[in-house]
Amino acid sequence: MEQRNIPAHVAIIMDGNGRWAKKRGLPRIFGHRAGVQAVEKIVSHASNLGVKYLSLFAFSTENWLRPEDEVSGLMTLLSEFVDKKFSDIIEKNIKFIVSGRLMELPDEPRSKVLKLIETSKNNTGMVLNLALNYGGRKEIVDAINKILDSGIKEIDEKIFSDFLYSPEVPDIDLLIRTSGEMRISNFMLWRLAYAELYFTKTLWPDFDEKEFDKAILDYQKRDRRFGMTDEQIKRGKI
Ligand code: FPP
């Protein structure tokens, strides 16, 4: 793996927890629990590799439609994740942020998450961006409403992106989706514009450091042109 060509922003759609549990004859929540362990491994590994931003799709605005016990189970896992990883995140100099409508989350996970955001806000290492109660179209509509409220009459791409959730988060370089589905599923639509897409059949709970390295190696073989010609890229247009 080339150390100098590590994607700055890696985003992951962590899919397949339910199928992982089903294969073992277990309730779905066991798959999510195993999924959290994969999250822990990948956060630490990405930070060690020098990834600058890691965005993880943990809960979509549509996930509220899942059975009540699954939703409450996911919220409990979120609270436990924050409790368990709090000091580790601070120690690793990771800045923890959330993209999504955090105010609609239940009190307990919301207050734990807010405390970690506040405590880690001056950290200068990797930014861990957890997409919680996140929808890509909602993010765009929320941005437009904020722009209308601000009284700004004319925008360009730069101004628009300043109104997205967590505006410090740049465009995505590499999107990984596990479990064999080949969809974007309303994830970070604006920032995916020029992302390289990587799909693997591996279910999220089985996704580990080796699988992550495979995705990075694949990315490093890609030829990114951002709509330009090879010649322009060589002349250093970007
Ligand atoms: C998709 O699997 C996964 C989710 C909807 C949630 C992702 C959540 C986690 C990895 C655990 C929570 C994370 C944190 C950081 C607390 P699925 O249930 O759609 O799987 P399936 O398609 O096989 O049914």
Which positions are catalytic?
15, 63
Is 213 assigned to a binding site? no
According to the model, what pLDDT value does residue 3 have? 84
Q: Determine if ligand 1 sits within 6 Å of the CB of residue 15.
A: yes
Q: pLDDT grade, residue 238 (50/70/90)?
A: low
DSSP 168: T
Please choose from 13, 17, 177 the residue to mutate so as to test ligand 1's pocket, defined by most ligand atoms within 8 A of CB. 17
Q: Determine if ligand 1 sits within 6 Å of the CB of residue 42.
A: no
Structural domains in the chain, CATH included, are 3-134+171-235 (3.40.1180.10)
Nearest CA to ligand 1 atom 7: 58
For the ranges 29-38, 195-204, 218-227, the lowest mean pLDDT is seen at 218-227
Is 24 assigned to a binding site? no
According to the model, what pLDDT value does residue 89 have? 98
**Integer Cα distance of 145 and 154 in angstroms:** 14
Q: SS3 breakdown of the chain: % helix, strand, coil, rounded to 5? A: 50, 15, 35
Residue 162 is which amino acid?
Answer: D
pLDDT above 90 for 90: yes
Q: Of 8, 3, 57, 13, nearest to 175 (Cα)? A: 13
Q: What is the mean pLDDT of residues 61-72?
A: 96
Query: What's the gap between Cα 221 and its chain centre?
Result: 22
Query: What's the gap between Cα 117 and its chain centre?
Result: 15
**Integer Cα distance of 211 and 134 in angstroms:** 25
Residue 163 · residue 209 · CB < 8 Å: no
Residue listed under structure tokens 């922003």? 9
Is 19 assigned to a binding site? yes
According to the model, what pLDDT value does residue 233 have? 76
Q: What is the pTM of this model?
A: 0.95
**Integer Cα distance of 75 and 202 in angstroms:** 24
pLDDT above 60 for 170: yes
Q: What is the atom index within ligand 1 of the atom nearest the CA of 181?
A: 22
The pair of structure tokens assigned to 165 is: 């959730």
Nearest CA to ligand 1 atom 16: 78
Q: What is the atom index within ligand 1 of the atom nearest the CA of 35?
A: 10
- DSSP secondary structure, 5-54, as one string: G--SEEEEE---HHHHHHHTT--HHHHHHHHHHHHHHHHHHHHHHT-SEE
CA 80–ligand 1 middle distance (angstroms):
15
First to last CA, the chain: 23
SS3 64: helix
Burial class (CB in 10 A: 0-12, 13-18, 19+), 63: middle
Is 168 assigned to a binding site? no
